Structure 1
């Protein structure tokens, strides 16, 4: 079992969250790059999180001393006993080319390799040569591909500046020039690839390429040939339960949850102020103990009395 060592947790975001109801909190590393949101124009929604990869870029540039970087939003649940099983020498992502990390909870090797028992992988884009902007049909599933302001046509301007050997390797995986699109809510970057990752991510930040095209595409461009990308069973959910019950439900279905978004540690009250729900803390502690037992690993959880 690998040991997941967290040397420092860096919170990245705006200097103040008063406007969002977070009147009691603050962030360590301030980054508000294009964080404004305007949903009034249905032809171009300026979403607050569309450029959040600038935060990742800032954090990795400012903190260049770590063996690895685990990136996740504040409302993503990380199943720590599971992530301890992941080799920190490699990238982690729900890649369609990823390798599954063995989990006794899924049974024997055949059970672990069964794709139907894993979360859906990220998607490969349509052919960028297609005029996706002209055929874009508005907001819906996979809307980002053809969106004229942040989609594939915009992202290709950055892609074409990436070193040729990276593009050629990526094309060998995708059977042609393609981009990657998927959740950017869980990603691990080994420290030895930090410099290359930051440099390539910087090319995409010279455009308005959407977060969930830019980050997975960069990861696959930078990951060297012959090195595995470890598959994270990451789930992006729209319906309740937005708490530990979701993980237990997936266990009952014979699947695993390494991470999921969104986890509601609390909710906004009628007065517009977000408040945490203390019962979730103890429940997550219990969940971690259950997860460790499911995998047959030792686990020591601090109780609420310590």
Structure 2
């Protein structure tokens, strides 16, 4: 499969995952932490079932740690993203989360001794500016403050970018499915363990009885997220990681489209702002983000 098509498919898939996760967190899950536990547990079947057919190969401990560590970083990133979804619009979270290519580029410069052109650094600033713009809150007299959730979403993006960088490093030394498995296990660990309390255990038992919510989260995390991660890994494995993440940055575009459709009066599954000023602001910000992260790799 062409890696560009894989990256676009990943963007579409994760945009859908973000919308469905928003619905579950807001309407069905007793708390965001309970949802995280289920999201983590559902990473394991998709990661381990393929290994029944291809098997675990023998690799050095450092390679396994890199592959697993990439998953841990992504898991922590998802923890922060799920918390943000509780309080921010899905399209906002998806857009800021996709600043990860900026941090992939920075990591490459610092740790991999790669260099960036002046135009690429300008693209980095453009991307961050777009993330700030899309996170600004509209008030009756203008723009409000950024709020703490912007910085939570940026932290999530940093961890996600670092996780993707480690995934690329692991793929250079290990087979596709072994990296996929170890990364999935690593992703599940923080999602399942960090949110566990006595309350979340009780809430989890209640959530199991919510068949509608449980069905949505199984489809979102076990099926759609599995497919999106598969496409992500294909794209990263067959191209420079910066190029792949730049193409995957189109995810906000699909998130905005999905969010707008599901917020129409005759559907009303979501309640995303659809007034002209919000649409104009978000559209402009999404364009800035897409142009910026694409410029990092393409200029």
- Asked if TM exceeds 0.5, the reply is no
| Higher RCO (CA 8 Å, separation ≥ 6 residues) | 2
Structure with greater proportional strand content:
1
Computing the radius of gyration over CA atoms, which structure comes out larger, 1 or 2? 1
Give the TM-score of the pair, scaled to structure 1.
Answer: 0.29
Give the structure with the higher percent helix: 2
Task: Give the TM-score normalised by structure 2.
Answer: 0.29
